Every structure is written in structure tokens, then in C-alpha cells.
Amino acid sequence: MDYIVLDMEWNQPWPGSPSARKVLPVQIRGEIIQIGAVRVTEDQQVADEFQVLILPKYYRRLNRRVSKLTGIKESQLKENGVPMEEAMAAFREWCGEDVVFLTWGFDDITILRENLRLYGLEENWVSRWFNAQMIFNAQTDGSTAQKSLKSAMEIFGIEATRPAHDALGDAYHTALICAKLDLQKGTAEYGDALKSHVNGFHGAELPGCLDRKVFYDYADKRAALTAMSGKENKCPTCGRQMLGSRWFAQPGRRYMDLAACPDHGKFLIRVRLSEQADGTVRVSRLTYEATSEAAQTYARRAEKADPEDPRPSSRRRRIRKPE
Ligand SMILES: [Zn+2]
């Protein structure tokens, strides 16, 4: 089995143009104009490469933003682009039978499948695929965000030797990252990584985290936070309802609160809200020890925000902690 690291560039109609109003038999987010791919063998050696330019059939005018980003010119596509059917046949032949696809992000395979469907081509051969970002997050210290290819390269100390936003260049750099991951483990544990991603955890809790849980279907932010500081605010040790203090907002629809159990002391609650498909709110909650770094962040924030004390926090601290 080989891993095929895939990257593509696609064209989109200019908003408001006649192409944008075209109704296609299959809805596509973009029409593929370039495919770049690099093979990584089962023992994780970066091997051969593939690239092809594709002559677009549905969105023939090249969007100038796409052109600027990718460096591809419309004249180039007309001269060197091959029809989609031909490009796909060549790509599939190059891939071989027993392959697993790796991409940086969730978009590429979705768009590839849409394009295959639009052209009436078989799409089952691309059904085994993984977003390498998720594997990367699971196997590094894992911040909460989907990392750009550039920042992932920096983390692994990989220097850019190929052009960015060129399908083969991006595929090559992604392949170098993939070669440093444990792909066998990463693909085997992909389900967990994906679940973490969907639930907003990204496998990225800080030290001192005692519990993680997801809650669904709150009408809005207020209802969600009320439940989190009310009936769902249970002590991780005894399960009794704790008393919350005050929510502080953090970037990315995150909030934190310090809760207390009369018997087991204080715990820091961090939640992240996200909208579900029907507009209701999902909550991903992490519970931390009061001695954790996360709880110290809360303490600093609470001190800064104390509404009853208008003095600057540096001065207040000096006054409150006399030598
Ligand atoms: Zn308790």
C-alpha cells in the first residue's frame, strides 16, 4: 500500500459573472485546474511525483484571484491543460490500486469527488482518505486550530524548497510532514482525532485537565452557559452541583469559569461553544484542577476585571500583598 499526498488548485467563477449563475448537473465548489501528488511509501519514504494541468470545461474564465494566488495563467491552461477525463485516467494509473490519500485540510477530496461526479467519472477509488492536519494535531503538542501548511512546516523544522500554492509544491511539502508522522498509528486513530476535532477539543487540553465532555442542543449561548454554571456544573470528584463564579470570554467563542464544590474545592471550567447544523449550540467542556496553569490564567483575568476596584491591577496587587 502507498500513501498518495494530494493537493489541488481549483477555479471558481467570478461572483456575479455569467459562469456564477450557471446551473450545473452536480454542484461543485470549484473546478479543478491543477493536481499535484507525491507518493509516500508504506515505510514512509517520499517517492515519485505527479502533476497535471486541467483545462476547465465549466468555468472557463480563470478567476483573477485564483490566478494571482496560484500563478497559473488562463493561456497556460489553454496551451497545456488536458481534459478532465484524460487527467483523471493518468492520475489514477499513476496512483495504482492499493492507495490511501492524504490531504492538508478537508476540502481537496470533497472537491475531487464533486468534480468526478460532475464529469460522470467513477469516484470510489478516492474513498480512502485522511486529513493529515488531524493526524498532525493528534501527534504534536496540538494547539486548537487547524494549522496552515506553513506553520506545520515550521514546527517540524522543514524548509520550503518548492513554491507555495502550487499543487505539486504544496503536496511535496505536505509529504515531508507526513513522512515525519506515524501514519499507521495516525490513520488507525483517525476516528478519535476526528471526533475531537468535531467536538472542538482538537486533542489539545492543557496539563491539569481532569475531564472532557460534550453537551448538545442548547437554544443559544445564554442557555448553554446557564446550564454549564448550573445543573451541568458537577464536581468531578463527587458529582454534586458546584457553584460557579463568573464567566470570562476568551477568543474563539470560549469561556472560562471557576467553580467550587464545598467538599472538594475549586475547579476551572473551560467551555467552547459551536453552532450545530440546525442553529442550536454545542458545548465542549474541559474541567481542570485549581492548581493548573489554566486556573491561574483565570485568576489573573479575574483580578484584572474586578469591577469593584478601579485601580490598575499592578497597584492593587501591591496593596493587597503587603510585604
Ligand atoms: Zn465534590
Domains of the chain: 2-197 (3.30.420.10), 205-315 (no CATH)
Q: How far does residue 261's CA lie from ligand 1's centre (Å)? A: 5
pLDDT classification of 319: cutoffs 50, 70, 90: very low
As a whole number of angstroms, the distance between CA 150 and CA 256 comes to 31
The bridge status of strand 46-53 relative to strand 99-103 is unpaired
SS3 state at 59: coil
As a whole number of angstroms, the distance between CA 295 and CA 266 comes to 9
Q: How far does residue 205's CA lie from ligand 1's centre (Å)? A: 22
Please report which helix (H) or strand (E) contains residue 92, including its range.
Answer: helix 84-95
Nearest to 56 by CA among 40, 23, 32: 32
Query: Does residue 205 contact residue 211 with C-beta atoms inside 8 Å?
Result: no
- Report the share of the chain in percent with pLDDT over 70: 90
Q: How far does residue 47's CA lie from ligand 1's centre (Å)? A: 56
Q: How far does residue 31's CA lie from ligand 1's centre (Å)? A: 57
Q: Which residues surround ligand 1, an ion (CB under 5 A)?
A: 235, 237-238, 261, 263-264
pLDDT, tens only, 287-296: 998 888 778 8
pLDDT, tens only, 261-306: 999 999 999 999 988 888 899 999 999 988 887 788 888 888 887 6
Q: How far does residue 233's CA lie from ligand 1's centre (Å)? A: 11
Predicted pLDDT at 307 = 54
As a whole number of angstroms, the distance between CA 69 and CA 28 comes to 20
pLDDT, tens only, 52-104: 999 999 999 999 989 999 999 999 999 999 999 999 999 999 999 999 999 99
* Mean pLDDT, rounded, for 303-323: 48
Q: Which residue has the cell 508522522?
A: 181
**If you count DSSP H runs as helices and E runs as strands, how many of each does the chain have, helices first?**
13, 11
Predicted pLDDT at 204 = 53
Q: How far does residue 316's CA lie from ligand 1's centre (Å)? A: 32
Q: Which residue has the cell 455569467?
A: 18
φ, ψ of residue 264 to 5 degrees: the values are -115, 5
pLDDT, tens only, 224-261: 999 999 999 999 889 899 998 889 998 888 999 999 99
Stronger pLDDT, 170 or 312, i.e. the higher one: 170
Q: How far does residue 238's CA lie from ligand 1's centre (Å)? A: 4
As a whole number of angstroms, the distance between CA 282 and CA 285 comes to 10
Query: For the chain, what is the radius of gyration of the CA atoms?
Result: 25
Q: How far does residue 227's CA lie from ligand 1's centre (Å)? A: 18
Q: How far does residue 229's CA lie from ligand 1's centre (Å)? A: 15
Q: How far does residue 263's CA lie from ligand 1's centre (Å)? A: 5
pLDDT classification of 320: cutoffs 50, 70, 90: very low
Beta carbons within 10 angstroms of residue 294's beta carbon: 21
Q: How far does residue 239's CA lie from ligand 1's centre (Å)? A: 6
Q: How far does residue 286's CA lie from ligand 1's centre (Å)? A: 16
Q: How far does residue 291's CA lie from ligand 1's centre (Å)? A: 16
Q: How far does residue 201's CA lie from ligand 1's centre (Å)? A: 25
Please report which helix (H) or strand (E) contains residue 39, including its range.
Answer: strand 31-41
Q: Which residues pair with 39 in a beta bridge?
A: 4
Q: How far out from the chain centre does Cα 221 lie? A: 23
Beta carbons within 10 angstroms of residue 188's beta carbon: 10
Q: How far does residue 247's CA lie from ligand 1's centre (Å)? A: 20
